Amino acid sequence: MAKNDLIGGALWEQYSDKVSSRMDEPKFRGEITEEQAKALGAKLIVADWGAEACGDAVRLFWAVDPKTNTILDARFKSFGCGTAIASSDMIAEMCIGKTVDEAIAITNIDVEHALRDDPNSPAIPPQKMHCSVMAYDVIKKAASLYKGVDISTLEEEEIVCECARVSLRTIRDVIRINDLKTVEEITNFTKAGAFCKSCIRPGGHEKRKYYLVDILKDVRKEMEKEKMAEVSETKEFKSMTIVQRLKKIETVLEAEIKPILAQDGGSMEVVDIKEEEGNTIVYIHYLGACQGCPGATAGTLMAIQQFLNEKVDASILVEPV
């Protein structure tokens, strides 16, 4: 069947020639029988997976060497669209020669990239990305059967965007680190929401546990609370007596800075603390290997001050004596 018979107009151009070829003539479609697996000295694994969103289904066959956990052969059967067939065919090929643990590491993004004609042009339209996700999920199912564990134990993180395999932790971290304020920025940084878009907000073709709009809202609220807490803490620090400030600073240095210096045989101690023109000046004396070290008055000194600025108060200045 030619691509022109499957799709028309501009949409046709969004499918790579590799996808078209594997739609029409899959290289690894078929099955592995018990007899065939036995002849290879392998264990037969048969895993089924389906996508509720579109009704596609795939069955993956593995012949695994139980001595090395290496996948000696792989085949598939697929019911669904041409993209599901092409993705399943590529998955089967990518599994062969890998150990089961190496196969689990294959992502749907790896599958899509392998189907590209050139590295910079997507192999399939964004709305079909879920097909490569289905192929990826069947690998996890096969691995869980081989290992004799529940499939959930193979998922290390909570996945928000199935298409790009972006975790909840990654999205939360990216929002915080880059101070993101829009869903579009999240997509630009992580690719979450760039494909089928079901994870952006409720109402997409597939119901999700987490949505980008809600994650963004929650993280921004947390950031605002933390900012207010920092302001409150700053006011609290400035209202402290000199002795109280010294105790707070020494507590932080003891827990965070001194262990780092000790790794290189050095240390430090606070010898005085003063308030001048709204700043809290902390005078320190280096000990051990830190004495005479060029970094003691440059990089190390700035690192100590920056740490105290972030953890205690922005008005702190550190001076060596």
Whole-number Cα distances in Å, 315 to 32, 63, 207, 209, 279:
70, 65, 49, 43, 5
Indicate the SS3 state at residue 216.
helix
User: Helices then strands (H, E): number in the chain?
Assistant: 14, 8
Q: What are the start-end ranges of the H helices in 191-264?
A: 212-238, 242-252, 258-262
**Edge-to-edge strand ranges of the sheet holding 316-320:** 266-276, 279-288, 316-320
- DSSP string for 91-142: HHHHHTTSBHHHHHT--HHHHHHHT-SSTTS-SS-GGGHHHHHHHHHHHHHH
Residue in 225, 223, 230 with CA at minimum distance from that of residue 311 = 230
Residue 81: active-site member: no
Catalytic option among 81, 95, 131, 163: 131
Residue 290: active-site member: no
Catalytic option among 54, 163, 199, 290: 54
Residues 6+ apart with CB under 8 A from 268: 253, 257, 258, 261, 284, 285, 286, 287, 290, 304
Q: What is the largest CA-CA distance in the chain?
A: 85
Please list the residues that pair with 316 across neighbouring strands.
280
Residues 6+ apart with CB under 8 A from 47: 59, 60, 62, 138, 141, 142, 145
End-to-end Cα, the chain, rounded Å: 81
Whole-number Cα distances in Å, 120 to 25, 41, 111:
25, 41, 14
Active-site annotation, residues: 54, 131
